[in-house]
Structure 1
Amino acid sequence: MQSLRHFWERFEEGMIAFLLAAMTLVTFTYVALNNLYTLFYTLSDKVPFASDALASVGDHLMSYAQGMTWSVALTKALFGWLIFFGISYGVRTAGHLGVDVLVKKTSKPVQRLLSMLACACCMAYAGLLLAASYKWVSALLVAGVGAEDLDRYGVKVGYITAIVPFGFALIIARYLEIFYRLYTGRQTGLGLADEAREATKLANPSEEQH
């Protein structure tokens, strides 16, 4: 079980890194092409003996840039997938904003009880959205609607939006893990970061040494 969990955590981190890298690469390529063909056209005007060659390169670069109309749509799709992988990752790594000052003033048993209640609410909310998004994606897949600027490559809207129910399933899995840890007494909170304590450490590095 531990090896499976370790594999999934590495896969989740790998997907986030891949999505970020793909978004950066696509955006950089599109922007670079749009700036390069302008550069070659400018050079063709200033270098008469190589004017035709430079203009030809500029024409090719411009055609490549114009052919990348799909880049914006792809970046949006990748960003959507990044959001849902990021939500699950944030739950696991305590990366989400937590406001639990009042809760931490209560006793440990009360903290556990309140955290279990909050965890159950999070799972219920994610469950409702999972059910609704599953019906939505199913309808899109049946309709076979093509994705904007990506339909020429056979990409359907349903393929892109499939991350929504999958992402909520990941969120539920994470909160189930937290609920189990709360139930067994292995933790008392939802695992959310203590922003006040972290901010104090950053402001006063000397305190961390003591």
Structure 2
Amino acid sequence: MQTLRRVWEHLEESFIAFLLAAMTLVTFVYVMFNNVYTLFFSLADKWALSADFFNALGDHTLSWAQEMTWSVALTKAMFGWLIFFGISYGVRTAGHLGVDALVKLTKRPVQRLLGMLACLCCLAYAGLFMVASYKWVSAVMTAQIGAEDLAQYGVDVGDIVIIVPIGFALVFIRYLEIFYRLFTHRQVGLGLADEAGEASKLASGHEERH
């Protein structure tokens, strides 16, 4: 079980890294093509002997830039996938805002009970949106609506928004795991970032230096 969990965590991190790298690469190429053709036209005006060569390069680069309207749509789609796929990753890595300063003031059994209550609320939220988004995505995929600027490549809106129920399903599974740990006394809270504790440590360190 631990091996399977480690494999999934590595796949999760790799997929997020791939989305970030792909978004960066597509945006870089699009910006480059939209700026480099002006350089070629400037060189054509400056060097008359090679004007035809640089004008041809400028024309080709300009046409490539104009044809890359799909890049913006693709970047938006990947950003959406990054958001909904990254929710469960944020839960696992305690990447959300810590708002449990008052809970930390209570005794550990109380913290555990409050954690279980909060976890049940998160499960209800994730489950509700998972079911609702699945119905919505099913309707969208049945309609077969082409994605803007990506339909020419066979991409439908349903292919993009399918990440919504998948993302909430991953969140639901993550909170099931947390609830199990709370129930078996393996942890106390939801694993969110302890910002109050970090702030206290930073303040203590600052006072010691002075």
Q: TM-score, normalised by structure 2?
A: 0.95
Q: Deviations over 1:104-142 (max 9, x none)?
A: 111111100000000000010111100110000000110
Alpha-carbon separation, structure 1, partners of 2:29 and 2:65:
9
Cα distance between partner residues in 2 of 1:6 and 1:207: 40
Deviation of 1:203 after TM superposition, in Å, equals: 5.7
* Structure 2 residue identity aligned to 1:188: V
Distance in 1 between residues matched to 2:43 and 2:99, nearest whole Å: 57
TM-superposed deviation, 1:3: 1.1
Shift of 1:196: 2.5
Out of 196-205 and 27-36, give the one that drifted further: 196-205
**What one-letter code is carried by the residue in structure 2 that aligns with 1:176?**
L
Whether 1:75 and 2:75 are equivalent positions in the alignment is: yes
Tell me how far apart the structure 1 counterparts of residues 40 and 17 of structure 2 sit (CA, whole Å): 34
Alignment of 1:13-162 (within 5 A): 13-162=13-162
Per-residue deviation, residues 135-178 of structure 1 (Å, max 9, x unmatched)? 00000110000000000000000010000000000000110110
RMSD of aligned Cα (Å): 1.5
The verdict on how the C-alpha distance between 1:49 and 1:200 changes in structure 2, with shifts beyond 3 A counting, is farther
Mind listing any 5+ residue stretches in structure 2 that lack a counterpart? none
Kindly provide the CA deviation profile for residues 12-34 of structure 1, in whole angstroms up to 9, marking residues without a partner as x: 00010000000000000000011
C-alpha change, 1:205 and 1:56, in structure 2 (3 Å) is: farther
- Taking a change above 3 Å as real, the CA distance of residues 20 and 45 of structure 1, as seen in their structure-2 partners, is same
**Sequence identity percentage:** 70
8 Å Cα contact 1:201/1:207 also seen in 2: no
Larger mean CA deviation between 98-107 and 148-157 belongs to 98-107
Where structure 1 has 5 or more consecutive residues not aligned to the other structure, the ranges are none
Inter-partner Cα distance in structure 1 for 2:43 and 2:201: 54
Paired residue total: 208
Contact 2:101/2:196 (CA < 8 Å) preserved in 1? no
Return the alpha-carbon distance in structure 1 between the equivalents of residues 205 and 58 of structure 2: 54
8 Å Cα contact 1:40/1:54 also seen in 2: yes
Identify if the C-alpha distance between structure 1 residues 17 and 202 changes in structure 2 by more than 3 Å, giving closer, same or farther.
farther
